[in-house]
Structure 1
Amino acid sequence: MKRMIRIIGTIALVWLGTLGFAHAGVEPGGIAPDAPDTYTVRKGDTLWGIAKRFLRDPWRWPDLWQMNRAEIRNPHLIYPGQILVFDRAAGVLRTAKPVGPIDEKRSPQVRHEPIQDAIPSIPLAAIEPFLVRPQVIDQKTLENSGRIVGLEDGRWMAGAGDVAFAIGVPEDTRLVQLFRPAEPLHARDGKTLIGYEARYLGTAKVEPNDDPRLGTVLRLQQTNEAIQPGDALIASQKETLVNFVPRAPEHDVDARIIKLYQGSLAAGRLDVILLDQGEAQDLAPGHVLALWRVRPPVTDEENRNTKVFLPEERYGVAFVFRVFERMSYALVMETEKPVRVGDAARTP
């Protein structure tokens, strides 16, 4: 459903407090020292940013809202204009009033609130390219992808406006994205193949075809570079970031960063990183992971043959927002140091 129906009446001004959730709130030690008593949600806010106003650890948001496990994937949506009230005694957060003008007359009624107007979990601008275009392709997706088998007039290259012929186009698909598998991606052992970088080539429109036994005719739309026989394709489908609640995984995760996406040797806050674990290791969108780095050993100056090994250093957190079978995209939310390939991402 594109719209969400919420029933709000005069007796529902603090409706979250009546739902009987599984948690007992957040302990005082987990509350941010400067947490406000109330906060008015503004356009441009994110769930992470609001959580950080109230909590030392923003991924403890489910405790603050007293959510049970069933509500984690479909959290109570928060909208600009809502006033959040912090009950310090109980360690929980509630809405003080329904969405609407302050002087609006309160009476029991049905209101409609577009889901897309709810604030996102994390900044969408930072991850939009990773939701729209294929950046990495796992082995399963590659095996199930379609393929360009030829070009009109027997040519070897084509561009926007030209015709291409393909097989393996999913039924009822109207637009496809074209890509070329590029560099292989390996797990931390440097040998186990877990996927490929996807060299994004452009899009093509699927011409009508009533006989599925025949090959598919494509009209190339937008192209970044020349299309060639052998290039792969998948149905064009924008991934949507469901407003998953930031939360720690319920199991131990020990992933490694295998790629950075800002074009340098180190990443920073709001940069995207690629992890070497995914659905197979029970990672899911909304999981928050702590970033760790192994400190290199130092040499004892008094005994040059002795190396002193040091404890690992925790320096930041990342939010998982898209998951493949054995890989995951995550957004760096907080960091005190540059993020590097090889650093660990673990359950906080």
Structure 2
Amino acid sequence: MRLKSALIALLLGGMAFAQGGLPEPKGGVTVYVIRPGDTLWDISKKFFNNPLLWPRLWQINPFIDNPNLIYPGEVLSLKPRPPALPVVKITPQAETVSLEEVAEPPPPVFYYSRGGHEGFIAADEWEHMGTILSSEPPKILLGEGDTLYVNVGWDDGVMSGDKFTVFRTSKVVLNPLTGKRVGYKVAILGEVEIAEVLGKKMSSAKITQSYREITRGARVRPAGPVVKEVVLKKGTERLDGIIVETLNNIELSGQWDIVYIDVGEADGVVPGNTFSIYTLPRKVFDPDAGTTATIPPALKGKLVVLNVHTDTATGIILQSSRQIEKGDMVSLDL
């Protein structure tokens, strides 16, 4: 009886605490994409160190009808949205009104939590990378906590505490229509932090995270942010391009997949731009006319730009009504 009473008190206390609000999620993450096997209990434990906060997590995600039924791919908010602000404040006067305050609605924001792991380097960025030269003590396979030496230093503006992403090149990316090299696909191996700058082209560093095997000769580049909030923006002039590659080495892509397009900063593209994705127009034979006819492009989905390079950009597919593939056309939304 005492055990049952204690359990009830614990649950009621946890629910009361959950209703009081949520602490700041670990790592500053504001959204989370649900994975297979996840539960609100597990997610609350992971980000708030308290699984009993799951009712509050459910409360700030009203799209969830049943807390026992959440599905992979759904985007979960980890922080409550700010309360809606009044649009206008009206002071009554004789036959007139005074608009003292006008609150502009905030621009739409896309939250993306895999910043820095998009797996693409533009062709003109390659010369700014570094290489792992050795480790202390010297060994073949490196992991978390190991000390290593990289050939970046004072000449590169590197300082102690700077963070770098470790990667290896997996594929040269060519434009599927022109055959021109546009960049490199890379596999992300881990993260390192500069411990001490030792010279113009030499620093010691420590591996802080290891996702795959790291070996001497792996490349390093400045790390991107862990969490991104991308403000969605419309373009001002028509711009068309094509999808040149995908992140996951798959022929057909869909919602939440990463893709790379052949237009970038030089074309006026900025993070937050949205593009519509279309099939390319194609020629077919018209037997009645005895000539060829053109099938117009068909809408397949939408993507938002996460990162831009000089001539390319990295995006994530927001919507897809059918499978998306390399060579599909993209058109900037105006």
Q: Would you call these one fold, judging by a TM-score over 0.5? A: yes
Number of the residue aligned with 1:323: 308
- Give the C-alpha shift of residue 153 in structure 1: 4.4
Q: Percent identity?
A: 16
Residue 207 of structure 1 is matched in structure 2 by 195
Distance 1:83 1:339, change over 3 A: farther
Corresponding residue number in structure 2 for 1:314: 299
From 228, 238, 243, give the equivalent of 1:252.
238
Compute the displacement of 1:317 (Å). Answer: 2.8
CA contact (8 A) 1:121 1:246 kept: no
Conserved? CA contact 1:188–1:276, under 8 Å: no
CA distance in 1, matches of 2:219, 2:190: 11
- Residue 206 of structure 2 is matched in structure 1 by 219
1:186 to 2:170 alignment: no
Query: Structure 2 counterpart of 1:346, which letter?
Result: S
Work out the CA distance in 2 between the residues paired with 1:83 and 1:263. 45
Q: In the alignment, is residue 333 of structure 1 matched against residue 304 of structure 2?
A: no
Cα RMSD between the aligned structures? 3.2
What displacement does 1:275 show? 0.9
**Segments of 4+ in structure 1 off by > 6 A?**
none
Q: CA deviation at 1:286?
A: 2.2
What CA distance in whole angstroms lies between the structure 2 residues aligned with 1:173 and 1:280? 33
Q: Deviations over 1:25-58 (max 9, x none)?
A: xxxxxxxxxxxxxxxxx9569xxxxxxxxxxxxx
Residues 235 and 309 of structure 1: is their aligned pair in 2 closer, same or farther, counting only changes over 3 Å? closer
Q: Residue type matched to 2:280 in 1?
A: V
* Aligned counterparts of 1:218 and 1:155: Cα–Cα separation in 2: 15
1:279 counterpart = 2:276: no
User: Aligned to 1:142, what secondary structure does the other structure show?
Assistant: helix
Q: What secondary structure is seen at the aligned counterpart in 2 of 1:189?
A: coil
Aligned to 2:125, what secondary structure does the other structure show? helix
The aligned counterpart of 1:166 is 150
Q: Is the 8 A contact 1:137 1:197 kept in 2?
A: yes
TM-score by length of 1: 0.59
Query: Any conservation in 1 of the 2:123–2:183 contact (CA below 8 Å)?
Result: yes
The total of aligned residue pairs comes to: 239
Distance 2:216 2:296 in 1: 52
Query: What's the CA shift for 1:264?
Result: 4.0
Equivalent position of 1:49 in the other structure: none
Task: For 1:1-348, list aligned pairs within 5 A.
Answer: 80-82=82-84, 95-96=87-88, 121-122=109-110, 124=111, 127-129=112-114, 131-169=115-153, 170-174=157-161, 175-209=163-197, 211-213=198-200, 215-238=202-225, 241-247=228-234, 249-261=235-247, 264-300=250-286, 307-348=292-333
Q: Is the 8 A contact 2:119 2:247 kept in 1?
A: no
In the aligned structure 2, how far is the partner of 1:256 from the partner of 1:299? 25
2-structure distance, mates of 1:214, 1:268: 42
1:256 Cα deviation after fit: 0.4
Helix, strand or coil for the counterpart of 2:124? helix
Give per-residue Cα distances to partners, 1:174-200, cap 9 Å, x unaligned: 232211122011224353212111211
Which runs of 5 or more residues in structure 1 are unaligned? 1-41, 46-78, 85-94, 98-107, 109-117
Preserved CA contact (<8 Å) 2:253 2:323: yes
Q: Contact between 1:43 and 1:80, CA under 8 Å: does it hold in 2?
A: no
Deviation digits for residues 134-186 of structure 1 (CA, Å, limit 9, x no counterpart) = 51112333211121112334434322332221111442142322111220112
In 2, Cα distance between equivalents of 1:240 and 1:221 = 17
Identify the range of structure 1 (150-159 vs 281-290) with the bigger mean alpha-carbon deviation.
150-159
TM-score (norm 2): 0.61
Structure 2 vs 1, CA of residues 274 and 306 (structure 1 numbering), >3 Å: closer, same or farther?
A: same
Per-residue CA deviations over 1:107-160 (Å, capped at 9, x if unaligned) read: x9xxxxxxxxx88612x2xx322x132511123332111211123344343223
Contact 1:43 1:119 in 2 (8 A): no
Q: For the structure 1 residues 212 and 330, does the alpha-carbon distance in structure 2 shift closer, same or farther, using more than 3 Å as the test?
A: same
- Provide the C-alpha distance between the structure 2 equivalents of 1:272 and 1:288, rounded to a whole number of angstroms: 14
